Amino acid sequence: MSTLDPGQQTLTRRPSRSAATTTFSTEVFDNEVVPSSLGSIAPILRIANEIENERPRVAYLCRFYAFEKAHRLDPNSGGRGVRQFKTSLLQRLERDNASSLASRLKKTDAREIESFYQQYYEHYVRALDQGDQADRAQLGKAYQTAGVLFEVLCAVNKTEKVEEVAPEVKAAVSALWNTRGLNWPAAFEQQRQKAGDLDLLDWLRAMFGFQACV
Protein backbone atom coordinates (compact mmCIF):
# COMPACT_ATOMS: atom_id res chain seq x y z
CA MET A 1 0.00 0.00 0.00
CA SER A 2 1.43 3.38 -0.99
CA THR A 3 1.89 6.07 1.60
CA LEU A 4 -0.44 9.02 1.12
CA ASP A 5 1.42 12.30 1.20
CA PRO A 6 0.10 15.70 0.08
CA GLY A 7 2.94 15.93 -2.44
CA GLN A 8 2.50 12.46 -3.98
CA GLN A 9 0.15 11.32 -6.72
CA THR A 10 -0.43 7.62 -5.92
CA LEU A 11 -3.54 7.09 -3.80
CA THR A 12 -5.43 4.28 -2.14
CA ARG A 13 -8.76 4.58 -0.40
CA ARG A 14 -7.26 3.73 3.00
CA PRO A 15 -4.97 6.62 3.98
CA SER A 16 -1.75 5.79 5.81
CA ARG A 17 -1.22 7.40 9.18
CA SER A 18 2.50 7.88 8.45
CA ALA A 19 1.67 10.68 6.04
CA ALA A 20 0.31 13.01 8.70
CA THR A 21 3.27 13.31 11.04
CA THR A 22 2.92 17.08 11.23
CA THR A 23 -0.10 18.44 13.07
CA PHE A 24 -2.22 20.99 11.21
CA SER A 25 -5.48 22.54 12.34
CA THR A 26 -8.47 20.91 10.65
CA GLU A 27 -10.19 24.31 10.65
CA VAL A 28 -8.80 24.95 7.17
CA PHE A 29 -10.72 21.96 5.84
CA ASP A 30 -13.81 22.14 8.02
CA ASN A 31 -14.46 25.76 7.05
CA GLU A 32 -13.94 24.90 3.38
CA VAL A 33 -11.40 27.67 2.88
CA VAL A 34 -10.18 26.06 -0.32
CA PRO A 35 -7.05 27.50 -1.95
CA SER A 36 -7.87 29.39 -5.14
CA SER A 37 -5.95 26.88 -7.27
CA LEU A 38 -8.22 24.10 -5.97
CA GLY A 39 -11.48 26.00 -6.27
CA SER A 40 -13.19 23.32 -8.36
CA ILE A 41 -13.23 20.88 -5.42
CA ALA A 42 -15.16 23.26 -3.15
CA PRO A 43 -18.61 21.98 -4.29
CA ILE A 44 -17.51 18.40 -3.57
CA LEU A 45 -16.51 19.29 0.00
CA ARG A 46 -19.70 21.31 0.52
CA ILE A 47 -21.82 18.33 -0.47
CA ALA A 48 -19.76 16.02 1.74
CA ASN A 49 -20.57 18.27 4.70
CA GLU A 50 -24.27 18.37 3.81
CA ILE A 51 -24.68 14.57 3.67
CA GLU A 52 -22.32 13.73 6.54
CA ASN A 53 -25.02 12.89 9.06
CA GLU A 54 -27.20 10.93 6.65
CA ARG A 55 -24.53 8.81 4.91
CA PRO A 56 -21.07 9.15 6.47
CA ARG A 57 -19.43 6.74 4.02
CA VAL A 58 -20.69 8.67 1.01
CA ALA A 59 -19.35 11.87 2.58
CA TYR A 60 -16.00 10.12 3.06
CA LEU A 61 -15.94 9.00 -0.58
CA CYS A 62 -16.68 12.56 -1.71
CA ARG A 63 -13.80 13.90 0.39
CA PHE A 64 -11.49 11.17 -0.85
CA TYR A 65 -12.36 12.04 -4.44
CA ALA A 66 -11.75 15.72 -3.66
CA PHE A 67 -8.31 14.75 -2.37
CA GLU A 68 -7.60 12.82 -5.58
CA LYS A 69 -8.76 15.76 -7.66
CA ALA A 70 -6.57 18.13 -5.64
CA HIS A 71 -3.59 15.90 -6.51
CA ARG A 72 -4.39 16.15 -10.19
CA LEU A 73 -4.78 19.93 -10.01
CA ASP A 74 -1.59 20.51 -8.02
CA PRO A 75 0.42 17.27 -7.70
CA ASN A 76 3.45 19.02 -6.18
CA SER A 77 1.42 21.13 -3.72
CA GLY A 78 3.12 24.25 -5.02
CA GLY A 79 0.15 26.59 -4.81
CA ARG A 80 -0.36 28.95 -1.92
CA GLY A 81 -1.85 27.08 1.04
CA VAL A 82 -2.25 23.85 -0.94
CA ARG A 83 0.08 21.65 1.09
CA GLN A 84 -1.49 22.68 4.40
CA PHE A 85 -4.99 22.24 2.99
CA LYS A 86 -4.26 18.79 1.56
CA THR A 87 -2.59 17.66 4.78
CA SER A 88 -5.63 18.80 6.76
CA LEU A 89 -7.94 16.96 4.38
CA LEU A 90 -5.75 13.87 4.62
CA GLN A 91 -5.97 13.92 8.41
CA ARG A 92 -9.77 14.13 8.15
CA LEU A 93 -9.85 11.13 5.81
CA GLU A 94 -7.56 9.23 8.13
CA ARG A 95 -9.79 9.99 11.10
CA ASP A 96 -13.08 9.10 9.36
CA ASN A 97 -12.15 5.98 7.40
CA ALA A 98 -12.89 3.29 10.00
CA SER A 99 -16.04 4.88 11.44
CA SER A 100 -17.53 5.64 8.03
CA LEU A 101 -16.77 2.11 6.85
CA ALA A 102 -18.56 0.71 9.91
CA SER A 103 -21.64 2.79 9.07
CA ARG A 104 -21.75 1.71 5.42
CA LEU A 105 -25.14 0.27 4.48
CA LYS A 106 -24.05 -1.68 1.40
CA LYS A 107 -21.39 -4.33 0.89
CA THR A 108 -19.06 -2.17 -1.21
CA ASP A 109 -18.27 1.51 -1.62
CA ALA A 110 -19.52 1.33 -5.21
CA ARG A 111 -22.92 0.03 -4.10
CA GLU A 112 -23.05 2.60 -1.30
CA ILE A 113 -22.60 5.58 -3.62
CA GLU A 114 -24.85 4.04 -6.28
CA SER A 115 -27.75 3.62 -3.89
CA PHE A 116 -27.39 7.08 -2.42
CA TYR A 117 -27.16 8.72 -5.83
CA GLN A 118 -30.35 6.99 -6.96
CA GLN A 119 -32.10 7.89 -3.72
CA TYR A 120 -31.05 11.53 -3.99
CA TYR A 121 -32.13 11.80 -7.61
CA GLU A 122 -35.56 10.33 -6.94
CA HIS A 123 -36.27 12.21 -3.70
CA TYR A 124 -34.88 15.62 -4.62
CA VAL A 125 -34.21 16.17 -8.32
CA ARG A 126 -37.21 14.32 -9.71
CA ALA A 127 -39.52 15.56 -6.96
CA LEU A 128 -38.52 19.19 -7.54
CA ASP A 129 -38.66 18.84 -11.31
CA GLN A 130 -42.18 17.43 -11.22
CA GLY A 131 -43.51 20.04 -8.80
CA ASP A 132 -46.18 22.44 -10.00
CA GLN A 133 -44.08 25.48 -9.10
CA ALA A 134 -40.52 24.28 -9.15
CA ASP A 135 -37.98 26.57 -7.51
CA ARG A 136 -35.43 26.89 -10.30
CA ALA A 137 -32.61 27.92 -7.96
CA GLN A 138 -33.33 24.99 -5.65
CA LEU A 139 -33.63 22.63 -8.61
CA GLY A 140 -30.34 23.92 -10.01
CA LYS A 141 -28.61 23.20 -6.72
CA ALA A 142 -30.14 19.71 -6.63
CA TYR A 143 -28.88 19.04 -10.15
CA GLN A 144 -25.42 20.24 -9.18
CA THR A 145 -25.39 17.94 -6.14
CA ALA A 146 -26.54 15.03 -8.31
CA GLY A 147 -23.76 15.84 -10.77
CA VAL A 148 -21.11 15.75 -8.03
CA LEU A 149 -22.45 12.46 -6.69
CA PHE A 150 -22.38 10.99 -10.18
CA GLU A 151 -18.79 12.17 -10.67
CA VAL A 152 -17.78 10.44 -7.43
CA LEU A 153 -19.74 7.36 -8.50
CA CYS A 154 -17.70 7.24 -11.73
CA ALA A 155 -14.45 7.45 -9.80
CA VAL A 156 -15.40 4.77 -7.25
CA ASN A 157 -16.65 2.38 -9.93
CA LYS A 158 -13.41 2.78 -11.87
CA THR A 159 -11.39 2.14 -8.71
CA GLU A 160 -13.29 -1.01 -7.82
CA LYS A 161 -13.45 -2.17 -11.47
CA VAL A 162 -17.08 -3.14 -11.27
CA GLU A 163 -17.64 -5.80 -13.93
CA GLU A 164 -21.41 -5.76 -13.97
CA VAL A 165 -23.36 -2.53 -14.12
CA ALA A 166 -26.12 -2.57 -11.53
CA PRO A 167 -29.70 -1.67 -12.54
CA GLU A 168 -29.46 1.37 -10.29
CA VAL A 169 -26.52 2.69 -12.29
CA LYS A 170 -28.31 2.06 -15.59
CA ALA A 171 -31.27 4.03 -14.26
CA ALA A 172 -28.96 6.80 -13.06
CA VAL A 173 -27.31 7.08 -16.47
CA SER A 174 -30.70 7.19 -18.17
CA ALA A 175 -31.73 9.97 -15.83
CA LEU A 176 -28.74 12.02 -16.97
CA TRP A 177 -30.29 12.33 -20.43
CA ASN A 178 -33.50 13.83 -19.08
CA THR A 179 -33.01 17.58 -19.58
CA ARG A 180 -36.68 18.37 -20.12
CA GLY A 181 -37.65 21.82 -18.96
CA LEU A 182 -34.13 23.07 -18.29
CA ASN A 183 -33.22 26.55 -19.49
CA TRP A 184 -29.99 26.54 -21.52
CA PRO A 185 -27.74 29.56 -22.06
CA ALA A 186 -28.09 31.01 -25.55
CA ALA A 187 -24.58 29.85 -26.48
CA PHE A 188 -25.56 26.23 -25.80
CA GLU A 189 -29.13 26.34 -27.14
CA GLN A 190 -28.09 26.32 -30.80
CA GLN A 191 -25.63 23.45 -30.16
CA ARG A 192 -28.30 21.53 -28.24
CA GLN A 193 -30.85 21.87 -31.04
CA LYS A 194 -28.28 20.91 -33.67
CA ALA A 195 -26.67 17.96 -31.88
CA GLY A 196 -29.60 16.75 -29.83
CA ASP A 197 -27.36 14.75 -27.50
CA LEU A 198 -26.48 17.10 -24.64
CA ASP A 199 -27.14 15.65 -21.19
CA LEU A 200 -27.45 16.83 -17.60
CA LEU A 201 -23.68 17.12 -17.17
CA ASP A 202 -23.53 19.38 -20.23
CA TRP A 203 -26.18 21.56 -18.58
CA LEU A 204 -24.18 21.66 -15.34
CA ARG A 205 -21.09 22.75 -17.27
CA ALA A 206 -23.10 25.44 -19.07
CA MET A 207 -24.71 26.80 -15.90
CA PHE A 208 -22.03 26.30 -13.24
CA GLY A 209 -18.80 25.52 -15.08
CA PHE A 210 -19.04 22.00 -13.65
CA GLN A 211 -16.59 19.37 -14.92
CA ALA A 212 -17.80 15.85 -15.69
CA CYS A 213 -15.74 12.74 -15.00
CA VAL A 214 -13.86 11.20 -17.89
Give the C-alpha separation, 34 to 41, whole Å.
8
Same domain, 41 and 86: yes
User: Is residue 25 included in any domain, yes or no?
Assistant: yes
Write the CA distances from 73 to 9, 51, 134, 197, integer angstroms. 10, 25, 36, 29
Residues 200 and 118 in one domain: yes
DSSP class of residue 37 equals: G
pLDDT in tens, 108-135: 999 999 999 999 988 887 777 666 555 6
**Please, are residues 103 and 57 in contact by the beta-carbon 8 Å criterion?**
yes
Q: Model confidence over 66-115: pLDDT tens digits?
A: 999 998 999 888 889 999 999 999 999 999 999 999 999 999 999 999 99
Q: What residue numbers bound the domain in which 46 lies?
A: 17-102
81: Cβ–Cβ under 8 A, 6 or more apart, which residues?
Answer: 28, 35
Residue 12 lies in a domain: no
pTM of the model: 0.65
Please check whether residue 2 lies inside any domain of the structure: no
Residue 3 domain-assigned (yes or no): no
- 162 and 90 in a common domain: no
CA distance 85 to 39: 12
Give the per-residue pLDDT at 149: 93
Q: Are residues 118 and 96 in the same domain?
A: no
Final residue of a structural domain among 48, 71, 102: 102
* pLDDT per position as a tens digit, 17-49: 433 333 333 444 444 579 989 999 999 999 999
Number of structural domains (the chain) is 2
In a domain, 201, yes or no: yes
